[in-house]
Each structure stands twice: as structure tokens, then as C-alpha cells.
């Protein structure tokens, strides 16, 4: 959550607090409001349009002034209707951005609420006024931006899209990004990105690069990776990798994190020369906060502390709660394929930037078992996953969240998506991102299950995902894999795989895949099947020895040997050893054993498998599991 507070520094627990170091905003109702930027001025085609409809310059000036007065009046009404809160005292800044004090950490109890009826009516009046002004000066970019801004705030995204497409003679790049803004609000991320990119083609090159540069979202190492690009082509490659990695779920079409970034830039430009709920001039600090954390979704008036000197009232602005840092850390950006399992999940504490996926406001670490099987010049990646448990009842996801099937979307700055984004069946997916940023994936409608992909050996980022639209819930696991093309006669051992037991032991991996467990959490005294695959045998007759053991994590090798030999008087929880003839055919050789987990204490344990083909080196794989009550 982000709060912006002009005036004194506030205390109180919130995730992110922004406070002005001093009151610099101009109170509403006073003269001296900043004039709109050059971006908002009518273009040459607009002048031609004015001549065609025979509007006098005086009429246009009056229409523009009337629109500006109406916009300022609406924000004064918004400010007057704000609920009040106590300041809660002072606390030091975690980060200062221009006039703003950034404070991170605290409660997550704020939720957006619908606008009061008086504010809804005032917004309708404002829209009617600026529509009338647009009839006089249809090519005015500032007026067009305000119309789309407030239509979006009212949840009228389809009307905003139609208006942006009509354009009315404003600068073409501005019309394109406004359409992208509205499409992003509807959740049409693929189309939104196309419109944003169309706008960049005709935008001033320096301005377009500023919008497209994700450096403001990255940590120091990530910024260095982007800055150290040898040439423009490499910079574009790294920039594209940032957005590929930042995409919250590949299950959802488009890239909402990239689209949201450009929508935030658009919103910032809309506010250039317009009044806002904080009573501050729009500047570089508010622009950076908007780009990093999003624009305000609710406001509160701050009551002065008892005995405090009178002065201008302050306002706290809230961004969406539960925002996470989806931009990749520098280490991940530099080499995604080197990211170890469990090392990367979107940060919620002290994020440098924050985003809430509209289709999955609750995104949690996924539940999955992921395995890699070598096949010479190719690899098979398989995963079994399931939706994570929701941390709280759906009814607490937001007081203003529209329910599926609602005929009316709440009016006002709603935090959740349009209902169509929260419809549809539950889905799971497995995706591999190669070094070129290309994504190969497979998905199906299911709450749980196993999937597999076969690709050429190489370096990839693996993403295992699950999504329940109606619950606004998603889960994901992302980590890297790095493999090389191996000779077909070089023996390789796959990861160990856990399966639910069946009527008989499976003879091939793919036939066993439907029974693959979705996690490595096990219970004592529970039967299961441990499987693996060996590739590179079958060229000649050879015996293969196997040794499977199960022991508590952290136990030394010599301690296990001593226990196996009976030196400490304790019985080994599990130890199996046997020999088999190798396969008679070249290709993958799948083996498995059914066991029952011994009666052991809860905690972390290790399966260790040693495979030694006759006359070859020992192959070893381990699997960490958790024994739960």
C-alpha cells in the first residue's frame, strides 16, 4: 500500500507511506494552477478543425477555461468528502523522493470503497462539462486526457476506448497511449500493448525511450545489467527480458506488468496541468511514485494532532493494497537460468515498485514438484502442481470487489478488474523461457495435475503456474535450469520423482505422469512410489546396481554409515540396495520402487539414489522432502 501525505510525517503501520517534507501544494480554489504541458496543446489538425466548424479563438479559450475550472471543482468536492483519520505521529523516512517521504512496512487493512453518491454525481457533471468543451475544441489533448481519466475512474472503460479511438484531432501518439490506457483498464493487455507501441512510433524519441526504460523499477544490479548493454540491440534485448520476467502469470494472455507500466506513464501525463486530491503541483516526484507504485485508489483527510498549530489540511493517498515487486532482481535478470529453486518470488515487503495483477490480486508461492529428465540432445521437463491455499476468505479480498454475475460494476476507482477477467475455469500451466525470451508452454483447465514439455537441451527459466479466476487466486514457482547436449551413450540420471501408488509399478515415465505428486510434503507411514529415469544405456549388456536411502537432513555421511553398520544401535529408517540387468534397447529406461515412509519425527529428510552401471561412474541424485504430522 502506498500513502501520500502532504505536510507532517505520519506514523502508524502501513506497508508504504509517502509524506511531503513540507507543504508545497496550492490549496484548491486559489489561482496559480500549473498550465497544461505542451503535450496537451491543440495540434495543427485541431486548428484546421476549429476553422472548419467556425469556432472563434475566444470561444475555444472560454471552453478550455471552463473545463479547467470544472476539473478543479470536482477535485475540491472529492477533497471535501474524504473520510478523516488521525495522523498517528511521526516516523523517519525509509526513502526520500523529492518532496516525498517513503515509509514501508505496516498493516494491510485498508481497502478501497465505492465513491459516495455526491462524488459520483459530481463526476457525471464534470464529464458533461468537458464533453461540451470538447465540442468547441475537439483536438485539445488535455481535455481528451481528462475525459478518459474520469471515464476510467467511473469504470466506463469501453466508453474510454471508443473516445480514444475517435481521437478528435489530438496528437496521434497521445490518442494511441490513451487507448492503451483504457484497454489496460479493461484487462485487454495484448491489445493495450499494441496501442502503446503504436504510440511510441510517433512519440518524441527521447520521451518514448523514457517510457520504455524500466530502470526506475530495477535494483542497482538490474540497472547495471541494462546500462552495461554493449549497443542498442543488446539494450533492447535486456529490456525485453525485464518485461518477460516481470509478467506475473504466463497463463494470462498479454503482459499486464508491462502494460501497467505504460498506463502509469499515461496517467502521469494526464495529471500534468490538472488538479488532484492532494492539492499539489504535479512534479517529477509524483511522477516517479506513480510509475513505481501506481496511482491513488483512495484518499483520507488527516486530522491534526491535539494542540497542533492550524494549517492547511493534509491528505493521505492510497495505492492498491497487497502490491508485489514483480520486476526481476538483478541476479535473475542477468542469468535467469541460474536462479535456484525457491530463490525468487515477488517481494511484498519493501518493494522498489509494486503491482497487483487484476486477475489474481492474491498471488502466492506455488505448490509443485518439478523434474528434469535428460534425453541426449533434448530434455523433458515435467511438473505436477496445484492451487495454493487461499490465505483469507474471498469475502475479505475487498469491499468493492465486483462479484461474478453482477450486472452493475461499482462506480468509482474500483481496485479489481472488470468481471470478465474473474470468470472462466481454473487453469494450470508449465512454461519454459529460453535465452532469447521466447516462451514455450502448455496449459489446461484444471485445479491440479501434471504437465510436461520436451525441448532442446539448453538454458531456460521454468515457470509452473496455477490460477483460479473466480477466487482471484494464483500460484507460481519460477527457477532456472541449465543443460547441455550430451552424447547418446553417456549415462545420465534424472531427478527423483514422487508418485502416488497404483495397482502396479509404472514401466514408462509418461504412463506414470498422471499419478505424479504435486509436492514433496509427505506423511510418516504413507505409501508412495519413487521413480527415476536413466538415459544412455542399452548399447551393450551391463548390470546396474542401485542404492536408495532415506535419512534426516543434516546427518553426516559417516554417521549414516555407522548407523547402517549398527555402531550406534539405531536402525536405519530406510535403505534398499539391489542389482538389475540393464536395458536391452537404447533409449530412456524408467525404474521405480514402492515404499512406505518409516515412522519418523516431522522434519526435513533426504532421499538419496546411487546408480552405478557396470564399468561406469556412479550417478547420484538426492531429493529433499518434508515429513509433516
C-alpha cell at 130: 468537458
* pLDDT value at residue 388: 93
Listed residue (380, 323, 385, 411) closest to 117, CA to CA: 411
User: What is residue 379's three-state secondary structure?
Assistant: strand
pLDDT band of residue 58 (cuts 50, 70, 90) is confident
Per-residue pLDDT at 196 exceeds 70 = yes
Beta bridge partners of 462: 432, 479
**Overall average pLDDT of the 352-370 stretch:** 93
Confidence band, pLDDT 50/70/90 cuts, at residue 350 = confident
CA angle 564, 499, 539 (to 5 degrees): 75
Whether the CB-CB separation of 356 and 322 falls below 8 Å is answered with yes
- Mean predicted confidence (pLDDT) in 19-31: 33
Residues 6+ apart with CB under 8 A from 514: 449, 450
pLDDT category, 432, cuts 50, 70, 90? very high
Quick one: cell of 88?
Answer: 498517528
Work out the mean pLDDT of the chain and round it to a whole number. 84
Q: Render pLDDT for 455-502 as a digit per residue (tens, 0 to 9).
A: 999 999 999 999 999 999 999 999 999 999 999 999 999 999 999 999
- Which of 32-36, 119-123, 543-547 is predicted least confidently? 32-36
Query: Mean of the pLDDT values across residues 178-197?
Result: 96
DSSP state letter for 554: T
Over residues 180-203, mean pLDDT: 96
Assign 300 to helix, strand or coil. strand
Q: Provide the pLDDT confidence category of residue 299 given band limits of 50, 70 and 90.
A: confident
Q: What is the mean pLDDT of residues 525-532?
A: 95
Q: What are phi and psi of 388, to 5 degrees?
A: -70, 165
Question: At 24, is the pLDDT very low, low, confident or very high (cuts 50, 70, 90)?
Answer: very low
pLDDT tier, 563 (very low <50, low <70, confident <90, very high otherwise): low
pLDDT-derived band of residue 235, with 50, 70 and 90 as boundaries?
A: very high
Q: Tell me whether residue 551 is exposed, middle or buried, using C-beta atoms within 10 angstroms of its C-beta: 0 to 12, 13 to 18, 19 or more.
A: buried
Question: With pLDDT > 70 as the criterion, what percentage of the chain qualifies?
Answer: 80
Q: The pTM is what?
A: 0.86
Does residue 514 register a pLDDT over 50? yes
Domains and CATH numbers, the chain: 2-318 (no CATH), 491-629 (2.60.40.3880)
Whole-number pLDDT of residue 573? 77
Mean pLDDT to the nearest integer, 268-282: 90
Percent of the chain with pLDDT over 90: 65
Paired with 442 in beta bridges are: 430
Amino acid at each position: 500500500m502506498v500513502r501520500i501525505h502532504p505536510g507532517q510525517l505520519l506514523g502508524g503501520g502501513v506497508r508504504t507511506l509517502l509524506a511531503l517534507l513540507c507543504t508545497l501544494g496550492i490549496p484548491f480554489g486559489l489561482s496559480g494552477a500549473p498550465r497544461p504541458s505542451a503535450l496537451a496543446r491543440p495540434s495543427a489538425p485541431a486548428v484546421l478543425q476549429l476553422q472548419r466548424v467556425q469556432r472563434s479563438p475566444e470561444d475555444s479559450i472560454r471552453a478550455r477555461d471552463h473545463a479547467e475550472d470544472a476539473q478543479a471543482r470536482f477535485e475540491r468536492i472529492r477533497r471535501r468528502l474524504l473520510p478523516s483519520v488521525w495522523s498517528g505521529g511521526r516516523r523517519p523516512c525509509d526513502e526520500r523522493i523529492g518532496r516525498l517521504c517513503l515509509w514501508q512496512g505496516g498493516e494491510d487493512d485498508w481497502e478501497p470503497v465505492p465513491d459516495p453518491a455526491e462524488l459520483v454525481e459530481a463526476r457525471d457533471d464534470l464529464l458533461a462539462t468537458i464533453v461540451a468543451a470538447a465540442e468547441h475544441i475537439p483536438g485539445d489533448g488535455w481535455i481528451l486526457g481528462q475525459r478518459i481519466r474520469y471515464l476510467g475512474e467511473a469504470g466506463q472503460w469501453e466508453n474510454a476506448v471508443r473516445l480514444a479511438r475517435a481521437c478528435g484531432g489530438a496528437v496521434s501518439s497521445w490518442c494511441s497511449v490513451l487507448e492503451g490506457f483504457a484497454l489496460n483498464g479493461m484487462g485487454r493487455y495484448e491489445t493495450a500493448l499494441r496501442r502503446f507501441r503504436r504510440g511510441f512510433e510517433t512519440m518524441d524519441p527521447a520521451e518514448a525511450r523514457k517510457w520504455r526504460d524500466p530502470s526506475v523499477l530495477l535494483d542497482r544490479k538490474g540497472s547495471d545489467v541494462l546500462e552495461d548493454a554493449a549497443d542498442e540491440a543488446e539494450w533492447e534485448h535486456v529490456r525485453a527480458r525485464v518485461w518477460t520476467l516481470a509478467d506475473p502469470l504466463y497463463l494470462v494472455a498479454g503482459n499486464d506488468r508491462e502494460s501497467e507500466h505504460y498506463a502509469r506513464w499515461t496517467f502521469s501525463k494526464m495529471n500534468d496541468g490538472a488538479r488532484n486530491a492532494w492539492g499539489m503541483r504535479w512534479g517529477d516526484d509524483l511522477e516517479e511514485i506513480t510509475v513505481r507504485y501506481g496511482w491513488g485508489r483512495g484518499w483520507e483527510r488527516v486530522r491534526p494532532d491535539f494542540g497542533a498549530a492550524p494549517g492547511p489540511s493534509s491528505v493521505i493517498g492510497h495505492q492498491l493494497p497487497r502490491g508485489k515487486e514483480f520486476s526481476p532482481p538483478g541476479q535473475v535478470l542477468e542469468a535467469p537460468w541460474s536462479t535456484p529453486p525457491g530463490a525468487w518470488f515477488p517481494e511484498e515487503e519493501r518493494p522498489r515498485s509494486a503491482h497487483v495483477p487484476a486477475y489474481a490480486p492474491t498471488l502466492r508461492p506455488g505448490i509443485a514438484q518439478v523434474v528434469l529428465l535428460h534425453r541426449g540432445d533434448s530434455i523433458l521437463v515435467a511438473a505436477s502442481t496445484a492451487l495454493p491455499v487461499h490465505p483469507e476468505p474471498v469475502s475479505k479480498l475487498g469491499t468493492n470487489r465486483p462479484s461474478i454475475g453482477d450486472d452493475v460494476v461499482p462506480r468509482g476507482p474500483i481496485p479489481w478488474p472488470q468481471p470478465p477477467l474473474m470468470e472462466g475455469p481454473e487453469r494450470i500451466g508449465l512454461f519454459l523461457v529460453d535465452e532469447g525470451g521466447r516462451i514455450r508452454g502448455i496449459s489446461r483447465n484444471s485445479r491440479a495435475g501434471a504437465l510436461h514439455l520436451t525441448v532442446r537441451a539448453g538454458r531456460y527459466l521454468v515457470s509452473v503456474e496455477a490460477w483460479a479466476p473466480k477466487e482471484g487466486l494464483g500460484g507460481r514457482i519460477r527457477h532456472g535450469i541449465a543443460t547441455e547436449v550430451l552424447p547418446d551413450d553417456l549415462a545420465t540420471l534424472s531427478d527423483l520423482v514422487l508418485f502416488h501408488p497404483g495397482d502396479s509399478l509404472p514401466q514408462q515415465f509418461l504412463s506414470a505422469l498422471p499419478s505424479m505428486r504435486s509436492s514433496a510434503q509427505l506423511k510418516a507411514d504413507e505409501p508412495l512410489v519413487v521413480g527415476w529415469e536413466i538415459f544412455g544405456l542399452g548399447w551393450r549388456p551391463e548390470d546396474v546396481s542401485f542404492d536408495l536411502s532415506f535419512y534426516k537432513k543434516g546427518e553426516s555421511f559417516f554417521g549414516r554409515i555407522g548407523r547402517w553398520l549398527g555402531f550406534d544401535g539405531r536402525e536405519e529408517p530406510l535403505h534398499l540396495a539391489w542389482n538389475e540387468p540393464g536395458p536391452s534397447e537404447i533409449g530412456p529406461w524408467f525404474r521405480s520402487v514402492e515404499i512406505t515412509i518409516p515412522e519418523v519425527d516431522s522434519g526435513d529428510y533426504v532421499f538419496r539414489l546411487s546408480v552405478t552401471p557396470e564399468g561406469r561412474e556412479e550417478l547420484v541424485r538426492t531429493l529433499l522432502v518434508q515429513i509433516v504430522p
